[in-house]
Amino acid sequence: MEKKNLILLICTVLSFFTVFAVNAVTVVIPTIANEFHMSNIVQNWVTIIFLLVVAVISVPAGQISGKYGLKKVTILSIILFIIISIVNVLVTSQEQFLASRFILGISLSFINVTSMSMVVSAFKPEERGKALGINITGVYIGLSLSPVLGGIFNYHLGWRSVVLFGVPFLFVILALLLTKVDDEWITFKNIPLDIKGSVSYGIGMVLFMYGFTILNTYLGIILTILGIVILIIFALIELKQDHPVFDVRFFKNRKFSSSNFASLSAYLATFAVTTILNYHLQYIKGFDSQSAGMILLVAPLCQVVLAPIAGRLSDRYVPQILAAIGMGLGTISLILFSFLNGQTPLEYLIISMVIYGIGFGLFSPPNTNVIMSSVPPKDTSVASAAVSTMRTVGQAMSMGILTLVFAFVMGNVPIVEQYYPLLINSSQITCLICVVLCMASVFASFVGIKSNINQ
């Protein structure tokens, strides 16, 4: 196999397992919640804490991986992933489980950044859209199979089998990297790490994200505002740095900034949908995890089919238009989801999921191609960090919106039958909020079309 194709295969498999680590566990959260006696708010934090760590670490991960080598950092991250996955199955409390998810988030923060950077580094600009489309297909295959495999493994073997599923495959990837890939990519070799920027970004992001999830309290309001202030200070610090951890000047590039905002808005609008549908199927409709996982396969399966096609199209046509069409379909699907209740036919849900899957499958590869192609080659790790950060910040805030609506509508309660009407109301309200965010992504996708994609 040609080396660049082997690298693409490795990175695509890694993309699959980074998604699987989040989404497969999301499907089995009701089982985990039952074992560890989690409330509705804590259940959401199983996903949020992971995404929060990824959002915080992704920015410095871009500079660290560029300085010490993409391959080396990927190897160390995979080793940490394997170790913490084994530790995760030994936990005996919800606090220990959340701590394991915290550490897992650190390892996957680096994998998210390095895998995409290696793909971009291995392929020429004219092949990049196709390669990224295939790489993102790994993400969509993960989205497709994680609810199915997670549900089946949980139903027959328990949730711990879901956590351990990726370990043997990652041992194989580790062996391939050590024996078959002799290249190393170092873009920041003689550049010092921006400690001041990394720390201020991390503190600001943690305060903002945590405050946002408890925005219904005075403490939440204070922490959110304080986080925003510190993130502004971070931006000012970066403008004065010769070698910033994240060059905020990239956002002067209209194509880069608009596509990142479109990505942020898209994930804000769509990520909580999987959790909403999972709760709807398992709690409201009474399906077991295996059956719910099979139904949840519908949307990501559409994404798997469309991702490589959309990637190739983005090399030939204006990618922002493709992305805007995708998010337009996403808006329609969210409007349909906002009508879900206890009497909604399964056929209605499946049709809505097909529209949702087609929409996001059309959006992500073209939008990612725009971001990765709008910076010089030496800065691909930084652009990759931006892609990862926008995705995970959007995902975490999407879950934050759902958690916030839960807090206002339901309070901090277990999800049991007497609260099902409130669960339905919470899901409907969240979907309506996400409709507005999806429309913002459509608008952002159109901005900057006239500027040159390649720099």
How confident is the model over 413-431, as pLDDT tens digits? 888 888 899 999 999 999 9
Q: What is the pLDDT of residues 249-281, one digit of tens each?
A: 777 878 888 888 888 899 889 888 888 998 899
Q: How many Å apart are CA 11 and CA 137, to the nearest integer?
A: 11
* pLDDT band, residue 231 (cuts 50/70/90): very high
Between residues 138 and 290, the one the model is more confident about:
290
In the chain, what percentage of residues exceed pLDDT 90?
24
pLDDT at 453 (0 to 100): 44
pLDDT at 382 (0 to 100): 67
Q: How many Å apart are CA 391 and CA 119, to the nearest integer?
A: 18
In the chain, what percentage of residues exceed pLDDT 70?
95
Output the average pLDDT for the chain: 84
C-alpha to C-alpha distances, 319 to 103, 305, 378, 384, 449, nearest whole angstrom: 36, 18, 23, 18, 9
pLDDT at 381 (0 to 100): 63
First CA to last CA across the chain, in angstroms?
30
Q: How many Å apart are CA 455 and CA 444, to the nearest integer?
A: 20
Joined together, the tokens standing for residue 213 give: 């999830």
* pLDDT band, residue 448 (cuts 50/70/90): low
Q: What is the mean pLDDT of residues 117-137?
A: 77
Of 31, 300, 253, 334, the C-alpha closest to 139 is 300
Q: What is the mean pLDDT of residues 51-55?
A: 82
pLDDT at 222 over 80: yes
Exposure string (b/e) for 17-35, b if CB count within 10 Å is 16 or more? Answer: bbbbbbbbbbbbbbbbbee
Q: How many Å apart are CA 249 and CA 86, to the nearest integer?
A: 41
Q: What is the pLDDT of residues 73-113, one digit of tens each?
A: 999 999 999 999 999 999 988 899 999 989 988 998 888 88
Q: Which long-range contacts (CB under 8 A, 24 or more apart) does 342-349 make?
A: 342/284, 342/285, 342/420, 342/424, 346/285, 346/295, 349/277, 349/280, 349/295
Cβ atoms of 45 and 137 closer than 8 Å: no
Cβ atoms of 103 and 84 closer than 8 Å: yes
Contacts of 82 (CB under 8 A, 6+ apart): 167, 170, 171, 174
* pLDDT band, residue 150 (cuts 50/70/90): confident
